[in-house]
Amino acid sequence: MELNNIKRVYLVGIGGIGMSGLARYFHHLGCVVCGYDKTHTPLTDELHNEGICVVFEDRADWIPMSFQELDNDTLVIYTPAIPKDSQILNFFRRKGFELYKRSQVLGIISQSMYTIAVAGTHGKTTTSCMIAHILKDSGKDCSAFLGGISSNYQTNVLYGDNNIVVVEADEYDRSFLTLHPDIAIITSMDADHLDIYGDHAHLEESFKLFASQLKQGGTLIYHKGLPLGNGFTYAMNDDAQAMATNVRIEEGNFYFDFNDGSTSIPDIKMGIAGLHNIENAVAAIEAALHVEIPPAAIHEALGSFKGVKRRFEYVVKNTAHIYIDDYAHHPEELRAAISSVKRLYPDKKLTVIFQPHLFTRTRDFADGFAEVLDMAHELLMLDIYPARELPIGGVDSDMILSRMKMLNKRKCGKQESIEIVRSEKPALLLTVGAGDIDQLVTPLKQALQDV
């Protein structure tokens, strides 16, 4: 496929965070961009407002006429989350169009560029956004395809004037194996997506394959302790090649010192909170140093980094209430979020509202979820968000609740959780999950503020 020849792009599943980034990218290039998704979201509204046509009925007759004839200047991209019986997907198949996954298109876009790819079962979105911000803020510049909405730029795709691209490398269905980066970062390899991989060993195998796909002379940066070799290790307060030390909280802000044996950057003030984000920052700093960003510019950029939407995002922060929202949906992500909240606010009672994501993930990690959620003082448990999955017999959110030792826990619906917050006005509230729990953020904020 020659990208320079593409004039029209249709995306089946355009509302996803990764797909919408490609939609914006091709629209920026001047292509006619259209797409389908099953539900309206704020993100699809934004695409519409930017001049991108989005439809919400899976009907072939809603495909614009200009897309209906096989043509070399038309590109069709789909997400694996789209059902195999999709009318729109099967229309393009019958017509003989070659269908591309998002990951394949990212591989094609990045193959002629200097590519910094960030992979990991968690940490990759924040780390890739950090790197992109450091490059932008320092004047080095870059393009970027991100797995979240950057709070600095209010978008998930950035356009640069040079040949550097930052890509979030997704391990789901082995998508990241389409990439051949110059710098590869691996933040974590915890068991996840076992519905795809079957077991942890096969997941690790895919990460090792990703690491092996570095371009000649490329650099692998990975968290110390991962079963990888011939790379540059990083960690916090550990004997890694790049380290964060002297980690501290001053007036509600996280500070640390960076050292990798050849470069030291003292007194770095983080623009965002969280111990896990300090480790993400160490990886981002090392990548930035490899593309010759001056230490002083890195120091300044991290202080102005505002984070990613739904990644340890402050919704309310005043003397009466603290409300933080986070995308965490794996036990280790929950551990990082809850630990950071408790370290920041050790004297406050922590109320957590959690929405499990996927039946398979709940089944596979019920014990882990129970252990980590017991770290909170109070839990409101929502039903499982199924996403692409059908129900599994005997698997529901009670599977986690029944394993917990905490007494102050209850299962409730989304509307009920709003009423509980309105009534009890918790001083410290954390919402976590990767489903549609984000729809509760504004109502919960209002509930806290209602007199």
- pLDDT tens sequence across 256-306: 999 999 999 999 999 998 888 999 999 999 999 999 999 999 999 999 999
- Read off the pLDDT of residues 359-388 as tens digits, 9 standing for 90 and up: 999 999 999 999 999 999 999 999 999 987
Give domain status of residue 105, yes or no: no
> Is residue 212 domain-shared with residue 321, that is, in the same domain?
no
3-state helix vs strand vs coil in the chain, percent to 5: 35, 25, 40
Q: What is the mean pLDDT of residues 102-126?
A: 92
Please name which of 319, 241, 249 lies closest in space to residue 277, comparing C-alpha atoms: 249
Domain CATH for 322: 3.90.190.20
pLDDT at res. 451 = 67
> Is residue 294 domain-shared with residue 339, that is, in the same domain?
no
Q: Are 184 and 210 in contact (CB under 8 A)?
A: yes
As a whole number of angstroms, the distance between CA 125 and CA 14 comes to: 19
DSSP 25-49: HHHHTT-EEEEE-SS--HHHHHHHH
Give domain status of residue 443, yes or no: yes
Q: How many structural domains is the chain composed of?
A: 3
Residues 6 or more apart in contact with residue 87 via CB below 8 angstroms: 58, 59, 60
User: Per the structure block, which two tokens stand in for 266?
Assistant: 């003292």
Cα distances (angstroms) measured from residue 117 to each of 128, 185, 264, 414, 417: 8, 6, 24, 37, 39
> Is residue 75 domain-shared with residue 118, that is, in the same domain?
no
Q: What's the CA dihedral at 386, 391, 392, 398 to 10 degrees?
A: 70
> Is residue 318 domain-shared with residue 256, that is, in the same domain?
no
**Listed residues 269, 304, 339: the one ending a domain:** 304
pLDDT at res. 121 = 86
> Is residue 121 domain-shared with residue 269, that is, in the same domain?
yes
Confidence (pTM): 0.85
Tokens 């209010």 correspond to what residue? 154
pLDDT above 90 (res 128): yes
Would you give the distance in Å from CA 402 to the centre of its chain? 29
Cα distances (angstroms) measured from residue 135 to each of 63, 271, 297, 325, 342: 39, 16, 9, 27, 32
As a whole number of angstroms, the distance between CA 231 and CA 185 comes to: 10
Give domain status of residue 285, yes or no: yes
pLDDT level of residue 187 (50, 70, 90 thresholds): very high
> Is residue 242 domain-shared with residue 390, that is, in the same domain?
no
Residues 6 or more apart in contact with residue 434 via CB below 8 angstroms: 327, 328, 329, 357, 385
Please name which of 60, 58, 52 lies closest in space to residue 95, comparing C-alpha atoms: 60
- The residues facing 254 across adjacent strands are 249
DSSP code at position 311:
B
pLDDT at res. 196 = 62
> Is residue 42 domain-shared with residue 166, that is, in the same domain?
no
Q: SS3 for 63?
A: coil
Residue 328, domain extent: 313-449
pLDDT at res. 184 = 96
- Read off the pLDDT of residues 48-106 as tens digits, 9 standing for 90 and up: 999 999 999 999 999 999 998 888 899 999 988 788 899 999 999 999 999 999 889 99
